[in-house]
Amino acid sequence: MPSVSVFNMEGEQVGTLELSEAVFGVPVNEAVLHEVVVMQMANRRKGTADTKTRGEVRGGGRKPWRQKGTGRARAGSSRSPIWRGGGIVFGPHPRDYSYKVPAKVRRLALKSALSAKVSGNEVVVLDRLSFEQPRTKDMIRVLEKLSVTGKALVVTAARDENVNRSSRNIPGVKPMEARNVNVCELLKYGKLVITADAVASLEGALGR
């Protein structure tokens, strides 16, 4: 069963926490991680790209010249796809790129990502994280005390407005609720700074 140190906001170790083997100690399945990341990226696509066909392009209602006798190729419209300013053949049109993978696969991918963080010593557990008022300097100070540099995902059990507003202006730092943790964000950010309550929340949701 994996265990991690628990720190306070001053960067002092105040204990250890035994993590659930079923959530933070599973073998890392790279194929499943890839499958879920591709799904998440596809679901984020807007799908608004659009081109006009020859029936949608403005103009082209009159036959450019008579059918015979000019020596030129016959043409029925100046908006044919082979003409400059004409319609587009097989161009993109608005569509929905989203799809789903089974819930079991999504859960396994999330467990794999969390387990990879633990095995890579990229998880920092706090006994609590709260501020009396939103202040970016306070959050920077906490991260410095914890020796967290670079990109970091800050996870709390529930939405904390003071934590969110203290973190969102720090480059490379993203605050998030435990229920919103996903594979893409875990892989994107190097360090996972998470409260003990948020760990319990993840174990309760994924340990079933």
Over the stretch 124-168, which tens digit does the pLDDT of each residue have? 999 999 999 999 999 999 999 999 988 999 999 999 899 999 999
Residue 177 reports pLDDT greater than 90? yes
Residue 190 reports pLDDT greater than 70? yes
Residue 2 reports pLDDT greater than 90? no
Residue 3 reports pLDDT greater than 90? no
Residue 171 reports pLDDT greater than 70? yes
Kindly provide the residue ranges of all beta strands, DSSP E only, lying in the chain, ordered along the sequence. Answer: 3-7, 13-18, 123-126, 152-156, 173-177, 191-195
Report the relative pairing of strands 13-18 and 152-156 from DSSP bridges: unpaired
Q: How far apart are alpha carbons 14 and 102 in whole angstroms?
A: 39
Please give the structure tokens belonging to residue 200.
């319990």
pTM: 0.83
Q: Mean pLDDT of all residues in the chain?
A: 93
Domains in the chain with CATH codes: 3-43+101-206 (3.40.1370.10), 46-96 (no CATH)
The H or E element spanning position 111 is helix 103-119
Residue 21 reports pLDDT greater than 80? yes
Report the chain's terminal Cα–Cα distance, integer Å. 17
pLDDT band at 60 (very low <50, low <70, confident <90, very high): confident
Over the stretch 72-109, which tens digit does the pLDDT of each residue have? 999 999 999 999 999 999 999 999 999 999 999 999 99
Over the stretch 111-123, which tens digit does the pLDDT of each residue have? 999 999 999 999 9
pLDDT at residue number 61: 87
SS3 content of the chain, % helix, strand, coil (to 5): 35, 15, 50
